[in-house]
Amino acid sequence: MFGYTLRRLVGIAPVLLILLTVSFFVVRLAPGGPFASARALPARTRAELERLYGLDRPLGVQYLDYLDALAHGNLGPSYSMRDDTVAELIGAGLPVSATLGVAALLLGVAFGVAFGVGAALHPGAVLDRLLKLFAALTLALPSFVTGPLLALAFGLWLHWLPVAGWQPDAPRFLVLPAVTLALPLAASVARLMRASLLEVLQASYVRTARARGLGRARVLWHHALRPALVPVVSYLGPAATYLVTGSLVVETVFELPGTGRYLVQGAIDRDYTLVMGMVLVYGLLTLLANLAADLVHAWLDPRVRHESP
């Protein structure tokens, strides 16, 4: 297990470097610049700003300067929010985004696994039909539709929950955003869990366990559930990407002070350093989430740990 984990950790660095390299040149080569959308500046002032931020240097030199600064833990200043550095902006918004993502992940997986197991144990019953309806609705409706509908129902009509804003010591502000982000994840996990468990329950070793007189609950917990979870765990890697991209929309809908707004606003303002900082954070979080999913997969299925490097 240690060797498998080490191989996966070593593989993160080159992938992250490729991601940063492609993002750096795509952002820099896009039309416009960090000072193009501002009010008209005299040519001399604009040239001085570009010299100050190193934008007058060749693109290859700028890339090497960025990697050197990154190696020293310096994400650079923000071009559009000049009172703060990129590290300070990310440090202020990342806890909110991380809290939202973790809450949505736990909620989606817990609900999806439970719903999928119940549907698999009673195929064709009411719960199974409800799962199909639930999955069809939640996967068809995007988050920017689901979010306002939940806010309208539970915030404006029932007055149970706040519809916008954020207070760190008030979990009720997290409920609607987390549920909005978790619903499609729960639907996908439930469908995967149902299909996987139905297949495992037809396996020969499960039928043998039943023939030995083991109870239904013991067969489920000791023989069927662990292998049935393998496809679900494999899906959690791509699901992490959905949580990252989906949080951008959810944070905007519910006016959360997370990091998603910085990526959008930085792209609009051509704030190179802010966009690169967000790409670094989101890319690293996605890679680590995929690593965690692969490690759990290897724990569930020991054959994965012995695959060739």
CATH of the domain at 231: 1.10.3720.10
pLDDT confidence bin for 110, thresholds 50/70/90:
very high
247: containing domain: 94-258
Q: Is residue 10 part of a domain?
A: no
Residue 307 lies in a domain: no
Assign residue 96 a region: left if phi > 0, alpha if psi is -120 to 50, beta otherwise? Answer: alpha
From residue 81, alpha-carbon distances to 217, 253, 274, 293 in Å are: 58, 22, 9, 36
- Percent of the chain at pLDDT exceeding 90: 24
Q: How far apart are CA 299 and CA 148, in angstroms?
A: 40
Domain count, the chain: 1
Has residue 232 been placed in a domain?
Answer: yes
| Domain assignment present for 288 | no
**Alpha-helical segments (H) within the chain:** 2-29, 43-52, 59-71, 86-121, 126-140, 143-150, 172-201, 204-211, 216-219, 225-253, 260-269, 272-300
Take residue 145 and report the two structure tokens written for it. Answer: 């539709």
Q: Is position 104 within any domain?
A: yes
pLDDT category, 229, cuts 50, 70, 90?
A: confident
Report pLDDT for 303.
61
Q: Does some domain include residue 238?
A: yes
Give the pTM: 0.81
Is residue 84 a part of any domain in this protein? Answer: no
Residue 172 forms part of a structural domain: yes
Give the pLDDT mean for 56-73. 90
